[in-house]
Structure formats: structure tokens, C-alpha cells
A and B are shown apart, each in its own frame.
Chain A
Amino acid sequence: MALSVESAVKVVLVVLLALAGLGIWLLPGARGGTRRRIDGRLFVTTCGVGMLCSAAGLVVVFASPRHAVEWHLWEAAAMPLVLVYAYWIVVIRRAPEAEVLDEKQAVDMTTAGALAWGLSIPVMGAAFVLQEQGLFDGRLWFPCYLFATLLVYFSITLYRFERG
């Protein structure tokens, strides 16, 4: 039973990645696609999806650490965000010479990135201490770091962008 869940999750993840790759290859040249910028709606959607995926990832990592790794659930939690960023690549490929982000979006992302990086240090320090005491599975350090940092990053980006 455990093997079939793991296999099913793997198959779904691989299929989604393959579809994303196909989309990145085919969609930029397809007729009908008009979006050539990361407009406000896509930007906010990305932040929202990022926050949800990060929160879900953290819940999975701490609620069921064994399954998070063995059943690839942490990768599954990240997949929606991967698909959204695949769409960003489609948009960027449609107009490679154009400014796809406006300057405020770029500043908001940069500031959020710097703050998220800074905050990730004490978070990973806490994970290190917990691991030393046997309270944290070392295999989870990467998903924990990834989702904690992304949650902070997308939260700050969205807040800064929406407040104007």
C-alpha cells in the first residue's frame, strides 16, 4: 500500500513536470496567448499560490515527516508553485526583450528576498539545535528551509506590492 502511494505520487509529479516542460516549449509560439508581462493579477496569484504551497509544505513536513519524504509529499506541495513559475517562463519567452516586471515589482521582490534570507538564518539555526537534540529529522532540513523561506518571501512580497 505504501509503495503504491509513493509510486502514484511520483507518476503524477513526473507527468506534471513533463506537461510544464511541454507548455514552456509550445505555448510561447501558440496563437491566442497575449500576456507578455507579469501583470498585477499574475503577480498576486503567484504570491498567493506561493504562500499556500509553503504553508502546506510546512504542515506536511511537521505533521508527517516520514510520509513527507517517503511519499514525496513535500515535492507535491511545491508543485503548484512550480507550475505557476513555468507559466512565468512562458510569458518571458513570448517577449524576451521586454520588461516583464515593472520596477516596483522588482524592488518588492528584492526587498522580500533579502528579508527572507535574513530570517532563514535563525529558523535554520533552530532546526539545527532541534536536530542536535534528536527532535528534528535531518532529512527534512531542505524542505523546511525551502518552505519557511518561501512563506516569508511571498508574504512580504504580497504585502509590499498590495499596500502600494
Chain B
Amino acid sequence: MRLGNDLKRCRFDAGDLSQEALARAVGVTRQTIIAVEKGRFVPSTLLGLRLARFLGKPVEKIFWIVEDAPEPR
């Protein structure tokens, strides 16, 4: 089970926002935004809510759980 996200598309939907601009707006570094978009870093609840609030979208539209494929028998 892992975290999926649509942060990159939401960032472009918000007026082609750069990673740096989004990072500054929510109080993190650009590298954190890059890591979240690549799925390499799971943001905290607080950061997820900050991103959702800034981008004007429900947090469930940006982040969701990706279920692992069932193991073949």
C-alpha cells in the first residue's frame, strides 16, 4: 500500500505554478515538492492539508491510497 498523488497536475491547474513557488507558499523546500510528486516522500498530514488548502482542492483529490496488487496464487 502506498500513497498516490496528482500534485504535479494540480500545480499546473493552479496557473502553471513552479515547484519553487509552491514550495515557498506552503513553507517547504523545492526538493520536498519534487520528492512528493515523484512519490519518494510521504508528506505529513499537516503538509498535505497545507497543499490542499493552497491549491484550493480537497486533499482526497491530490492524495490517495494505492492498493498493492494481490499476490498471485
Contact = CB atoms under 8 A, between A and B. Distances in A.
Given A164-B34, A164-B35, A104 B27 contact: no
B37 to A, nearest CB: 8
Most buried by B among A39, A104, A161, A163: A104
Nearest to B26: A102
Instruction: Please classify how large the interface on chain A is, using the bins under 10, 10 to 19, 20 to 34, 35 or more.
Output: 10 to 19
A117 B27 CA distance: 30
Contacts of A162: 31
A102 B41 contact: no
B11 to A, nearest CB: 14
B47 interface: yes
A29 to B, nearest CB: 23
Given A107-B41, A164-B40, A102 B34 contact: no
Interface of B: 27-32, 34-35, 38, 40-41, 43-44, 47
24 contacts: A37-B27, A40-B29, A40-B30, A40-B31, A43-B29, A99-B27, A102-B28, A102-B32, A103-B32, A103-B44, A104-B28, A104-B29, A104-B31, A104-B32, A105-B29, A105-B32, A161-B31, A163-B40, A164-B31, A164-B34, A164-B35, A164-B38, A164-B40, A164-B41
Interface of A: 37, 39-40, 43, 99, 102-105, 107, 161-164
